[in-house]
Amino acid sequence: MSDRVVLAYSGGLDTSVAIGWIAEETGAEVVAVAVDVGQGGEDLDTIRKRALECGAVEAVVADARDEFAEQYCLPTLQANALYMDRYPLVSAISRPVIVKHLVEAAKYHGATTVSHGCTGKGNDQVRFEVGIGALAPDLKVIAPVRDFAWTREKAIAWAEDRNLPIDVSKKSPYSIDQNVWGRAVETGFLEDIWNSPIEDVYEYTSNPAEPRDADEVVITFDKGVPVAIDGQTVTMLQAIQELNRRAGAQGIGRIDIVEDRLVGIKSREVYEAPGAMALITAHQELENVTVERDLARFKKSVAQRWAELVYDGLWFSPLKYALDAFIAETQEYVSGDVRMTMHGGRATVTGRKSDVSLYDFNLATYDEGDTFDQGLAKGFVQLWGLPSKIAAKRAQQH
């Protein structure tokens, strides 16, 4: 049997052309692998057939939507992970699940090499190749677009010369990556960071400035997992999908950011993540009610480092695994309900309740029934401020 190459296949121009190019350049048979992470668009059976028509000897389509939601989106939610305090890692968390399926396909089909369609400017080349190296160190990687300086014009000429079944007549002005957790848009006129995004950029969200009625939602969590919306039981995937619909209709989750790419380039990105941002908002507020103060403070620093590791392609790294264990421990008591009003591009928390809340009404109230012993406060304040007071006296004397 000929050597085999497993290709991460999207069904688009670059990866469709890559099938024939890899076969011609290496003499290897190509196995195309498409992974459904809720990106929508074309039917995956259509994509599978196109891969075969472009010369793949095998075409694998993996429905990974629930897997992606439960094993990748959920940890991101529980970490409240926002890269640069704003970006909920839409593309970054989809790459590890794709890598996992590529490696499994390579083992099953006896392939020695994995290929992807990433460029040399982006983060995804790192996420793919570092992930593959972590899961299967013996696999080789080739990246035709990056390593052989493909351009769109070259790819179109290749496809036309070989009569490949690809429609190359329509060219989107944007580069788009999407999955159930959100949607990423870049390039085109957005590369001028003074230009405002136009409504044509968006698909998951409606214009938040348009008048509409507010939408009130109650999200129920059990140990950090969203398990019901307005009393209706949901899976993690269903929770994201439902809030994509409802929060998206309110224009929630639009993010316009100049972010720091791993390769050292600053890049302007426009994201839509209505379900992700609504869930993170609710989860953060429930943690405010149920997580002890010092643990909550430390968790914020862990979440920031977790987000950086995931963004930088280190999902399968030892430090990421260790932080996973810490974050999982913090979720032991994150159970209860959060009520939010979604309107005008914002998800505003209006109520929260939990059977394991650390909020004690009788300690917090200023009204009758107050059980807080205010007599203890005087000595506490004096001791708390003692180091600063001593330092101030020294400064005055010297």
Active site residue 200: no
d(C-alpha 184, C-alpha 192), whole Å:
17
Is 16 annotated to bind a ligand? Reply is yes
d(C-alpha 313, C-alpha 22), whole Å:
25
d(C-alpha 138, C-alpha 371), whole Å:
65
d(C-alpha 212, C-alpha 74), whole Å:
30
User: Does residue 146 contact residue 128 with C-beta atoms inside 8 Å?
Assistant: no
Is 13 annotated to bind a ligand? Reply is yes
Active site residue 161: no
Identify the CA nearest to 252 among candidates 218, 202, 288.
202
Is 161 annotated to bind a ligand? Reply is no
Identify the CA nearest to 348 among candidates 246, 231, 252, 256.
252
Is 11 annotated to bind a ligand? Reply is yes
Active site residue 124: yes
Residue 235: beta bridge partners?
none
Is 117 annotated to bind a ligand? Reply is yes
Is 87 annotated to bind a ligand? Reply is yes
d(C-alpha 203, C-alpha 38), whole Å:
14
Q: Considering 50, 95, 183, 352, which one is annotated as catalytic? A: 95
d(C-alpha 147, C-alpha 149), whole Å:
6
Is 83 annotated to bind a ligand? Reply is no
Q: What would the two tokens of residue 176 be?
A: 């788009």
Is 9 annotated to bind a ligand? Reply is yes
Residue that has been written with the tokens 């497993």 in this structure:
6
Rg (CA), the chain: 25
139-163 b/e (C-beta count within 10 Å ≥ 16 → b): bebbbbbbeeebeeeebbebbeeee
Is 124 annotated to bind a ligand? Reply is yes
Is 366 annotated to bind a ligand? Reply is no
Active site residue 14: yes
Q: Considering 50, 65, 115, 124, which one is annotated as catalytic? A: 124
Q: Considering 66, 146, 175, 256, which one is annotated as catalytic? A: 175
Identify the CA nearest to 167 among candidates 8, 9, 16.
16
Residue 323 φ then ψ, to 5°: -70, -35
Is 204 annotated to bind a ligand? Reply is no
Is 12 annotated to bind a ligand? Reply is yes
Is 311 annotated to bind a ligand? Reply is no
Is 262 annotated to bind a ligand? Reply is no
d(C-alpha 207, C-alpha 199), whole Å:
7
Q: Considering 4, 14, 36, 115, which one is annotated as catalytic? A: 14
- Could you list the residues known to form a binding site for L-aspartate, using ranges: 119, 123-124
Residues that constitute the known binding site for ATP:
8-16, 117
The residues assigned a catalytic role are 14, 95, 124, 175
Residue ranges at the known binding site for L-citrulline: 87, 123, 127, 175, 259, 271
Residue ranges at the known binding site: 8-16, 87, 117, 119, 123-124, 127, 175, 259, 271
